[in-house]
């Protein structure tokens, strides 16, 4: 049940309790309870929206920044990651298992300069950050399982 709820919400988190209940063969109240339990347990951390920035904000700039950092005594990479994640510009922070860098940081800015300055003035100046490498994102095709580019037309016939 848990897995099915999550699978459905991942496709569309705005689905109503009634609809979710119908899909799972439970009452709307039970569906709401199940979701609340998942939220309370911290399994579901939040809900967001997936945008096509080509349509919403054409000038927005996204970048993935690879950070090499010195792990700190007792807390490894957590401290630095927690500093980085407090910035509003930062969309995601992940610890990587890679030979060449440690943290992957996704940043959104309103223009190229914004992002470049954010990296040079905010990220690279953090104690323990050894180096940064910035990759600008030109186009997103799919995000969180949702197609951003137009889907292929359905060629199936009626038979």
Among residues 136, 139, 157, which one has the least CA distance to residue 148? Answer: 139
Cβ–Cβ under 8 Å, residues 119 and 65: yes
Please tell me whether residue 17 binds another protein under the rule CB under 8 A. Answer: no
Using the contact rule CB under 8 A, the part of the chain among 8-16, 29-37, 52-60, 121-129 near another protein is 8-16
* 22-30, 36-44, 48-56, 61-69 -> range binding another protein (CB under 8 A): 22-30
Q: Which of residues 25-44 bind another protein (CB under 8 A)?
A: 25
Tell me whether residue 58 or residue 156 sits nearer to another protein (CB atom): 156
Spatial contact of 111 and 53, defined as CB atoms under 8 Å apart: no
Out of 6, 13, 17, 22, point to the residue binding another protein (CB under 8 A): 22
Stretch that binds another protein, among 14-22, 67-75, 109-117, 122-130 (CB under 8 A): 14-22
Which residue do the tokens 């298992």 mark? 97
Of 1, 23, 37, 112, the residue at the interface with another protein (CB under 8 A) is 23
Site residues, another protein (CB under 8 A): 4, 8, 11-12, 15, 19, 22-25, 154, 156-159
């Amino acid at each position: 049940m848990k897995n099915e709820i999550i699978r459905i919400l991942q496709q569309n988190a705005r689905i109503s309790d009634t609809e979710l209940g119908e899909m799972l063969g439970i009452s709307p109240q039970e569906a709401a309870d199940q979701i609340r339990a998942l939220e309370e347990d911290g399994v579901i951390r939040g809900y967001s929206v997936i945008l096509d920035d080509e349509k919403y904000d054409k000038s927005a700039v996204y970048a993935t920044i690879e950070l090499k950092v010195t792990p700190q005594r007792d807390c490894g990479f957590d401290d630095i990651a927690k500093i980085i994640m407090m910035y509003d510009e930062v969309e995601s922070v992940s610890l990587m298992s890679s030979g060449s860098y440690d943290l992957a940081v996704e940043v959104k800015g309103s223009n190229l300069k914004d992002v470049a300055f954010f990296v040079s003035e905010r990220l690279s100046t953090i104690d323990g950050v050894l180096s940064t490498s910035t990759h600008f994102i030109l186009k997103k095709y799919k995000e969180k399982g949702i197609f951003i580019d137009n889907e292929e037309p359905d060629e199936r016939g009626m038979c």
